[in-house]
């Protein structure tokens, strides 16, 4: 859905105010009810994740045997997915800060990823969640690489974007690591050089730390299985990257997800902000295990409405959010994984091609 076509033209100021009141009340209700059940949930997920990682790395001690290599790689990939999606992403959003546990807190958590947590929190928590789907403000629209809406200017470089997207999926953590660098400003020479250098040094340190762990330390510990363990760690990282890319892209780019011009931000009220989150997000249907493996980002709509709400509560509030959308005539985008993946990739291919009537900019 383009920014030029509105699906909410029927809403009046009083409707936006009512939507804000109802969603604020829903959030207050859930936050007030947080307690032992929620704390037990995140502690349980962390225990399972650590157990899976230990189990996967133990299996890889015998990785020269194909069954052990496959089982160890798969187990390690699942552990990495859980750490990045349901734990790291959500802890760094502050979803568990209410527990006041210094070990599970947004200010102390450093995830198993080459992106430094402080840079990720700025680009994701602040920039993306504040300016969701606003062209020129939200760097997540196409990740500075892909054209995913007709409002984005086309260039010849976009012809190869299906290939770019495959590579981005495989090495997604590196794309995320570069996200806070303001690449366009660097290319134009308008960036703060000292700030850019500091960010690059931080990224370099984090990459060395991750490579040292996955591609040196653990392969060495496996002795004669060095190369097979190294390959297993690389494969587990790629699987985690592709899964994270798939879930995130399916939550932001499929179907009729809308984008907005910067003018939308002028005088934006709380209710209008909520509606922009509803229009700019999409859910993926599935069962409890599926939602866990997505970090509950399969409830992307609910996450964008309440990014600091514990993720285990999204499934609980989703029916109420959907009912509110039906009440006010606001689209609630949702679909199966296959539907959302297909829709997202259609956009990648469609917008790789030049518009029929446009002045093409060479790059």
What is the sign of the dihedral through the CA atoms of 201, 202, 203 and 207?
positive
**Residues contacting residue 320 through CB under 8 Å, at least 6 positions apart:** 26
pLDDT at position 186: 79
pLDDT at position 134: 95
Token pair, residue 263, equals: 């003018």
Phi, psi of 103 (to 5 degrees): -85, -20
pLDDT at position 326: 97
Which residue in this structure is represented by tokens 């495989």?
170
Domain ranges in the chain are: 13-33+115-350
Rounded to the nearest 10 degrees, the angle between the axes of helix 36-59 and helix 66-82 is: 150
The H helix count followed by the E strand count for the chain is 17, 2
pLDDT at position 182: 76
pLDDT at position 119: 95
284 forms bridges with which residues in the sheet? Answer: 335
Largest CA distance in the chain: 69
Contact indicator for 261, 137 with CB cutoff of 8 Å: no
DSSP-derived secondary structure for 287-315: -HHHHHHTTTGGGHHHHHH-TTS-GGGHH
What is the sign of the dihedral through the CA atoms of 255, 347, 291 and 282?
negative
pLDDT at position 6: 67
C-alpha–C-alpha distance, residues 221 and 214, integer Å = 11
Token pair, residue 322, equals: 């959907």
pLDDT at position 74: 98
Contact indicator for 244, 113 with CB cutoff of 8 Å: no
**Is-above-0.75 flag for pTM?**
yes
C-alpha–C-alpha distance, residues 47 and 179, integer Å = 30
Question: Per-residue pLDDT for the chain (363 aa), expressed as one digit of tens each?
Answer: 444 456 888 999 999 999 999 999 999 999 999 999 999 999 999 999 999 999 999 999 998 899 999 999 999 999 999 999 999 999 999 999 999 999 999 999 999 999 999 999 999 999 999 999 999 899 899 888 899 999 999 999 999 999 999 999 999 999 999 988 877 777 777 888 899 999 999 999 999 999 999 999 999 999 999 999 999 999 999 999 999 999 999 999 998 899 999 999 999 999 999 999 999 999 999 999 999 999 999 999 999 999 999 999 999 999 999 999 999 999 999 999 999 999 999 999 999 999 986 444 443
Query: Helices marked H in 83-170 — which ranges?
Result: 90-92, 117-120, 129-130, 161-170
């Amino acid at each position: 859905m383009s920014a030029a076509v509105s699906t909410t033209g029927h809403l009046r100021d009083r409707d936006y105010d009512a939507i804000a009141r109802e969603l604020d009340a829903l959030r207050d209700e859930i936050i007030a009810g947080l307690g032992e059940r929620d704390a037990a949930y995140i502690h349980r997920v962390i225990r399972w994740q650590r157990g899976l990682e230990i189990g996967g790395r133990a299996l890889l001690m015998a990785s020269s045997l194909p069954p052990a290599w496959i089982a160890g790689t798969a187990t390690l990939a699942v552990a990495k997915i859980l750490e990045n999606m349901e734990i790291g992403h959500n802890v760094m959003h502050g979803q568990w800060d209410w527990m006041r546990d210094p070990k599970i807190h947004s200010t102390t958590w450093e995830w198993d990823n080459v992106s430094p947590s402080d840079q990720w929190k700025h680009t994701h928590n602040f920039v993306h969640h504040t300016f969701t789907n606003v062209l020129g403000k939200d760097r997540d629209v196409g990740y500075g690489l892909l054209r995913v809406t007709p409002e984005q200017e086309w260039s010849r470089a976009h012809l190869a974007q299906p290939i770019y997207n495959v590579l981005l999926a495989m090495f997604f953590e590196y794309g995320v690591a570069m996200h806070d660098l303001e690449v366009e400003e660097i290319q134009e020479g308008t960036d703060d050089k000292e700030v850019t250098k500091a960010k690059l040094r931080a990224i370099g340190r984090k990459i060395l730390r991750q490579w040292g762990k996955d591609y040196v330390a653990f392969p060495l510990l496996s002795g004669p299985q060095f190369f097979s363990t190294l390959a297993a760690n690389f494969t587990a990282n790629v699987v985690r990257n592709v899964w994270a890319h798939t879930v995130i892209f399916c939550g932001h780019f499929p179907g009729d997800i809308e984008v907005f011009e910067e003018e939308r931000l002028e005088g934006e009220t709380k209710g209008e902000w909520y509606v922009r989150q509803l229009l700019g997000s999409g859910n993926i249907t599935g069962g409890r295990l599926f939602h866990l493996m997505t970090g509950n980002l399969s409830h992307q709509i609910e996450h964008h409405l309440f990014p600091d709400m514990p993720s285990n509560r999204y499934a609980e509030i989703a029916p109420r959010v959907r009912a509110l959308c039906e009440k006010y005539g606001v689209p609630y985008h949702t679909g199966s994984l296959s539907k959302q993946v297909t829709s997202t990739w259609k956009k990648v291919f469609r917008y790789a091609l030049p518009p029929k009537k446009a002045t093409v900019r060479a790059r």
